[in-house]
């Protein structure tokens, strides 16, 4: 009889906690066990990934995979393990409980290198000079602009100079500054449908002529854009990992979008909100890296990669617009705190940021797999997910029905801060499901426990 990954996981966990397998014991290689059990290698890989994430197994390279040598006390199956409660201080655990779980877009705060950040913060504070205590430069701290340019040129395929990087207060600050600088009141702006919920709310307030373009499995429908909004002046897109559907804009559509912008003197605003997080292949090149006519304005933020409270983002300005941005920033911007910029500069330039991203890619892939597997375990085929290779959230689509708002309401009552997918649409053709984050779900068991909370109410609604 074939085993599923959950059977393999349960069997190993029971043998380890009962002492049948002892710390340091070697377990079979994935290929060997898959052949023995007559299952796919991916099945064994998933079970081993869960066991490794929970601290039962460790991979030791050429020495193979073994029971964690540091595992000294077998945990009861019904008791929370040390890993399940995590290493966060008690005060932060309480904050996590109050803030809720599964909120999209929040990085894994339990795995942030706090000690290194505090060390850099102390160094930056001690090195502050008197002249640095005056008003900060509105375009950003020069060393930080250089560090961001170097990072983007290497990791996102851009070709930009430090002078083209403008430091902002994050997503809203970047978008407002771009439109303040380049848009007139009568300009038509197009946005993805569905699109980032908070972005929609902001744009409805500041853009009189806001229109939407449908998104399908290949990203923004550029044919629809050309048919209905050829005269638009701005297109705001999330091409690497669409928010919220998690699809990637296809290469033909990328080229079609770039051709439209160059032929019509239009601007593309590329929101690269989590482009660093691709798991099954190398990080995708940005849309900006394909831009031969300098019509793409690239914007990013450190809220997803470091911490939301940092409130730090950036805009990569087309070379022809640097003077216009400088003039506008002198009027409407006040600059970001120098001390924070200096800490972030050191974090980037000393290589800590690269190492942190590498660690997070592996961690997020594992936690995403836990969440998808737990969703299937708890709800069977009532929800389904579509294949994607990255990001910081999943969409659990309803297999039938359109009651995602009611389901989201019940989940939120259980401190599960999911979003109803239908709320992210403005036009027709809605799809229904739950937008949920997984970055802060720290064990397979925790994923199961969280999803069990609203199970009965969810089943009652979906029957």
* pLDDT, tens digit, 9 for 90 and up, residues 341-368: 999 999 999 999 989 998 998 899 899 9
* pLDDT, tens digit, 9 for 90 and up, residues 276-294: 776 655 666 789 999 999 9
Q: Which two three-digit tokens encode residue 210?
A: 């806001």
Whether the predicted pLDDT of 250 surpasses 80: yes
Mean pLDDT to the nearest integer, 4-31: 82
Q: Where are the domains positioned within the chain?
A: 1-77, 80-129+352-463, 135-350
Whether the predicted pLDDT of 9 surpasses 90: no
* pLDDT, tens digit, 9 for 90 and up, residues 304-341: 899 999 999 999 999 999 999 999 999 988 889 999 99
Which pLDDT does position 46 carry in this prediction?
81
Whether the predicted pLDDT of 24 surpasses 90: no
Mean pLDDT to the nearest integer, 78-88: 36
φ, ψ of residue 381 in degrees (nearest 5): -100, 20
Higher pLDDT: 100 or 316? It is 316
Mean pLDDT to the nearest integer, 59-67: 81
Which pLDDT does position 392 carry in this prediction?
87
Report strand pairing: 65-67 vs 296-301.
unpaired
Query: By the 8 A CB rule, do 446 and 378 touch?
Result: no
Which pLDDT does position 283 carry in this prediction?
60
* pLDDT, tens digit, 9 for 90 and up, residues 228-248: 999 999 999 999 889 999 899
Q: What is the CATH number of domain 135-350?
A: 3.40.640.10
Most confident of 152-156, 187-191, 358-362: 187-191
Mean pLDDT to the nearest integer, 155-184: 93
Whether the predicted pLDDT of 100 surpasses 80: no
Q: How confident is the model at residue 395 (pLDDT cuts 50, 70, 90)?
A: very high
* pLDDT, tens digit, 9 for 90 and up, residues 192-214: 999 999 999 999 999 999 999 99
Q: Which CATH class is domain 80-129+352-463?
A: alpha beta
Query: By the 8 A CB rule, do 371 and 104 touch?
Result: no
Strands (E), 361-427: 383-384, 393-398, 419-420
Q: What is the CATH number of domain 1-77?
A: 1.10.10.10
**Helix%, strand%, coil% for the chain, nearest 5:** 50, 15, 40
Angle of helix 171-182 relative to helix 322-332, nearest 10 degrees? 110
Which pLDDT does position 135 carry in this prediction?
84
Mean pLDDT of the chain: 87
Which pLDDT does position 58 carry in this prediction?
85
Mean pLDDT to the nearest integer, 68-79: 53
Higher pLDDT: 269 or 463? It is 269
Q: Which two three-digit tokens encode residue 158?
A: 């851009």
- The H or E element containing residue 341 is helix 338-349
Do you find a cis peptide bond into 194, omega within 30 degrees of 0? yes
Q: How confident is the model at residue 26 (pLDDT cuts 50, 70, 90)?
A: confident
For residues 463 and 460, what is the distance between their CA atoms, to the nearest angstrom? 6
Q: How confident is the model at residue 3 (pLDDT cuts 50, 70, 90)?
A: low
Nearest Cα to 272, choosing from 291, 294, 244, 299? 299
DSSP character string of 341-402? HHHHHHHHHTTHHHHHHHHHHHHHHHHHHHHHHHHHHHHTTSEE----SB-SEEEEEESS-S
Angle of helix 197-206 relative to helix 171-182, nearest 10 degrees? 30
Whether the predicted pLDDT of 389 surpasses 80: no
Q: Which two three-digit tokens encode residue 409?
A: 């309401």
For residues 348 and 311, what is the distance between their CA atoms, to the nearest angstrom? 16
Which pLDDT does position 40 carry in this prediction?
87
Q: How confident is the model at residue 14 (pLDDT cuts 50, 70, 90)?
A: confident
DSSP character string of 156-194? S-----GGGEEEESSHHHHHHHHHHHH--TT-EEEEEES
Whether the predicted pLDDT of 427 surpasses 80: yes
Nearest Cα to 233, choosing from 264, 205, 212? 264
Which pLDDT does position 49 carry in this prediction?
79
């Amino acid at each position: 009889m074939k085993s599923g990954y959950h059977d393999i996981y349960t069997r190993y966990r029971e043998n380890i906690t009962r002492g049948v397998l002892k710390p340091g014991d070697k377990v079979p290689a994935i290929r060997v066990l898959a052949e023995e059990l007559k299952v796919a290698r991916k099945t064994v890989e998933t079970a081993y990934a869960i066991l490794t994430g929970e601290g039962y197994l460790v991979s030791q390279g050429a020495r193979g995979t073994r029971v964690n040598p540091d595992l000294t006390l077998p945990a009861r199956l019904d008791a929370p393990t040390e890993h399940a409660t995590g290493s966060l201080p008690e005060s932060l655990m309480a904050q996590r409980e109050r803030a809720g779980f599964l909120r999209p877009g929040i990085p894994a705060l339990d795995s942030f290198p706090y000690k290194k950040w505090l060390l850099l913060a102390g160094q930056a504070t001690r090195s502050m000079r008197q002249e640095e205590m005056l008003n900060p430069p509105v375009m950003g701290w020069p060393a930080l602009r250089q560090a961001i340019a170097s990072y983007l040129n290497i990791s996102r395929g851009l070709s930009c100079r430090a002078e083209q990087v403008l430091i902002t207060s994050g997503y809203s600050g970047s978008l407002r500054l771009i439109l303040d600088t380049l848009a007139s009141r009568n300009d038509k702006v197009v946005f993805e449908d569905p699109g980032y919920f908070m972005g929609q709310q902001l744009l409805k307030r500041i853009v009189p002529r806001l229109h939407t373009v449908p998104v399908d499995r290949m990203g923004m429908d550029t044919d629809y854009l050309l048919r209905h909004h050829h005269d638009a002046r701005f297109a705001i897109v999330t091409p690497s990992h669409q928010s919220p559907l998690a699809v990637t804009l296809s290469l033909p559509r990328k080229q079609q979008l770039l051709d439209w912008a160059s032929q019509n003197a239009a601007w593309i605003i590329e929101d690269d909100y989590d482009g660093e997080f691709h798991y099954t292949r190398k990080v995708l090149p940005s849309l900006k890296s394909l831009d031969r006519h300098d019509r793409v304005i690239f914007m990013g933020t450190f809220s997803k990669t470091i911490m939301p409270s940092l409130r730090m983002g950036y805009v990569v300005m087309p070379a022809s617009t640097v003077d216009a941005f400088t003039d506008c920033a002198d009027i409407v911007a006040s600059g970001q705190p120098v001390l924070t910029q200096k800490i972030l500069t050191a974090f980037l330039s000393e290589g800590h940021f690269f190492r942190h991203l590498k660690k997070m890619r592996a961690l997020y892939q594992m936690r995403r797999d836990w969440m998808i597997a737990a969703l299937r375990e708890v709800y069977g085929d009532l929800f389904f997910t579509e294949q994607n290779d990255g990001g910081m959230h999943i969409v659990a689509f309803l297999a039938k029905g359109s009651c995602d708002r009611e389901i989201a309401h019940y989940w939120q009552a259980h401190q599960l801060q999911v979003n109803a997918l239908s709320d992210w649409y403005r036009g027709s053709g809605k799809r229904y499901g739950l937008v949920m984050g997984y970055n802060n779900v720290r064990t397979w068991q925790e994923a199961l426990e969280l999803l069990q909370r609203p199970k009965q109410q969810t089943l009652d609604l979906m029957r």
